[in-house]
């Protein structure tokens, strides 16, 4: 098959430029992608061509220039598409991760074998990392990432990717009975988290209270429609009045001030769902933290046993930075395989034969300063690999007061108080579809309230600009 078309690439200048693309190949033989007549990307077997029906504009799209992936690129990853050839007429939603498992490769890598295929360093990401996205008229989707749409309307389907991501936050940080949880910044993703919380609560017959926190009239109304029990208007109630009020705060603001507010008002946990690629509250690489779905926890013996609730594994290999206290080192050596040193030495260990037959990451990393925390997430500017396994944890030792300057005092106190930061990224489409089928009133709320603007594909720049405006909620680009 040969597909030739023009599309608008997103550039590092936060603008768009027209480019000519050509896809030629097949699912069994692989694909060649050319851009303006030049080789752009080679894909092996396991991809099917789809025709874009519509694509939502995400906060990640708006901040795309800050992410560590090459530009220019056709961006857009919230895709509803139609099949071609034998699949003509069928509609699909598309999971964004291009992995060994998604392509149906017979030989998986260590990350697939470990049950975390979406974290393989070899993955590409639709509309984010190399693989052309949904703001073009055609995409190439890994065969198992294209999920047939059944039982959910097309109006709700274009929201499937962000709704699945929202649901992932709830699964990673589920409320406990009697909890009072808050969604900070209930706009695009925040509104979906409200909907995911409401549907999760009903499906699981759970007992917790949901509050939305905003400062915009239209979001007050939207939050109630999406499932919030109450709304706090920050024009009337200031953040200090909410200190330690909420058991879990799901931060979707993507701002430094929002993250700092979340740290102040959380009683037990902040779930960081989206960031802006910049230093926040004195902490670097929080965007990468979310990409890897890592957690940051205060050091305790119980936290050395941390793993995601839906995973069944035990921590074995732990790395300690040099600044960690001798008491902690002594305690850990009784239970785990303990490695010590600098970030450079840690990378050397991960590249040694000791990790040749497993995911080349430590199960946990223990740090004693913000600088070590940054290095645990991204130790080397030459690559995007963390020292700790995806969905693992970084434990913070705050015993050395000299390691924590005044500009990170808020973060230090947060961990001294025993509080935790968790994060999550993409979600399970099948689970999201099932939840929406079980909760038609939530599906109706999504269709009725969340899409605030629709534009045709030749209005992409206008759609993108509108999505930046705080008065918009979800902007969708439609293809004829």
CB 403 within 8 A of CB 323: yes
pLDDT digits (tens, 9 = 90+) for 110-145: 898 888 999 998 899 999 999 999 999 999 999 999
Write the DSSP string, 305-359: G---TT------EEEEETTS-HHHHHHHTTTSEEEEE-HHHHHHHHTSGGGTTS-
Share of the chain above pLDDT 90, in %: 76
The average pLDDT across 390-394 equals: 96
Distances (CA, A) of 264 to 53, 193, 241, 249, 369: 42, 20, 10, 10, 20
In sequence order, which residues have a C-beta less than 8 Å from that of residue 257 and are 6 or more positions away? none
Confidence label for 12 from pLDDT (cuts 50, 70 and 90): very high
Name the architecture of domain 2-148: Alpha-Beta Complex (3.90)
Cite the beta strand spans of 77-195 per DSSP E: 78-83, 91-94, 97-98, 124-125, 138-142, 146-148, 180-184
Residues linked to residue 3 through DSSP beta bridges, in sequence order: 23
Residues linked to residue 420 through DSSP beta bridges, in sequence order: 269
Distances (CA, A) of 137 to 82, 172, 173: 11, 34, 37
Mean pLDDT of the residues in the chain: 93
The average pLDDT across 71-82 equals: 97
Radius of gyration (Cα) for the chain, nearest Å? 22
The average pLDDT across 40-51 equals: 97
Neighbours of 272 (CB within 10 A): 28
The answer, yes or no, to whether residue 276 has pLDDT greater than 80, is no
Neighbours of 95 (CB within 10 A): 26
Report the 3 state secondary structure along 254-309. Answer: CCHHHHHHHHHHEEEEEEECCCCCCCECCECCHHHHHHCCCEEEECCCHHHHCCCC
pLDDT digits (tens, 9 = 90+) for 182-235: 999 998 899 999 999 999 999 999 999 999 999 998 899 999 999 999 999 999
In sequence order, which residues have a C-beta less than 8 Å from that of residue 8 and are 6 or more positions away? 16, 17, 18, 19, 74, 135, 136, 460, 461
What's the whole-model pTM score?
A: 0.90
The reported pLDDT for the residue numbered 437 is 86
The average pLDDT across 86-99 equals: 92
Neighbours of 437 (CB within 10 A): 12
What topology is assigned to 159-273+426-445 in CATH? Rossmann fold (3.40.50)
């Amino acid at each position: 098959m040969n597909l030739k078309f023009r599309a608008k690439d997103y550039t590092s200048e936060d603008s768009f430029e027209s480019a000519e693309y050509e896809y030629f190949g097949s699912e069994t033989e692989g694909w060649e992608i050319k851009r303006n007549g030049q080789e752009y990307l080679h894909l092996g077997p396991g991809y099917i061509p789809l025709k874009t029906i519509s694509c939502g504009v995400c906060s990640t799209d708006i901040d795309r220039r800050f992410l560590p992936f090459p530009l220019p690129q056709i961006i857009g990853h919230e895709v509803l598409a139609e099949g071609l050839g034998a699949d003509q007429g069928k509609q699909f939603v598309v999971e964004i991760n291009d992995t060994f498992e998604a392509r149906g490769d017979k030989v998986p890598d260590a990350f697939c074998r470990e049950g975390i295929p979406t974290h393989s360093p070899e993955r590409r990401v639709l509309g984010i990392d190399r693989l052309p996205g949904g703001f073009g008229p055609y995409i190439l989707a890994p065969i198992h990432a294209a999920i047939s749409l059944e039982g959910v309307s097309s109006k709700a389907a274009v929201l499937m990717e962000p709704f699945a991501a929202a649901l992932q936050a709830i699964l990673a940080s589920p409320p406990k009975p009697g909890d009072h949880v808050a969604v900070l910044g209930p706009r695009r993703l925040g509104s979906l988290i409200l909907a995911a919380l409401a549907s999760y609560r009903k499906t699981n017959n759970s007992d917790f209270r949901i509050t939305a926190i905003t400062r915009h009239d239209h979001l007050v109304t939207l939050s109630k429609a999406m499932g919030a029990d109450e709304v706090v208007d920050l024009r009337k109630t200031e953040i200090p009045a909410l200190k330690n009020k909420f058991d879990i705060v799901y931060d979707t603001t993507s701002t430094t001030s929002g993250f700092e507010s979340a740290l102040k008002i959380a009683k037990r946990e902040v779930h960081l769902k989206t960031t802006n690629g910049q230093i926040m509250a004195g902490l670097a690489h929080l965007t990468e933290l979310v990409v890897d779905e890592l957690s940051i926890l205060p050091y305790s013996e119980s936290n050395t046993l941390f793993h995601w609730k839906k995973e069944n594994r035990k921590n074995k290999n732990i790395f300690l930075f040099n600044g960690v206290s001798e008491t902690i080192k002594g305690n850990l050596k009784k239970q785990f395989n303990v490695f010590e040193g600098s970030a450079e030495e840690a990378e050397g260990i991960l590249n040694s034969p000791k990790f040749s037959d497993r995911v080349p990451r430590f199960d946990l990393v223990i740090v004693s300063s913000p600088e070590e925390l940054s290095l645990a997430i991204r130790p080397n500017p030459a690559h995007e690999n963390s020292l700790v396994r995806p969905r693992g944890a970084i434990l913070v030792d705050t015993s050395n007061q000299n390691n924590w300057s005044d500009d990170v005092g808020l973060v230090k106190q947060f961990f001294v108080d025993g509080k935790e930061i968790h994060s999550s990224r993409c979600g399970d489409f099948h689970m999201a579809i099932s939840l929406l089928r079980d909760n038609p009133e939530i599906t109706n709320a999504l269709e009725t309230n969340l899409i605030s603007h629709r534009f045709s594909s030749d209005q992409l720049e206008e759609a993108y600009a509108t999505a930046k405006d705080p008065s918009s909620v979800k902007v969708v680009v439609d293809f004829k």
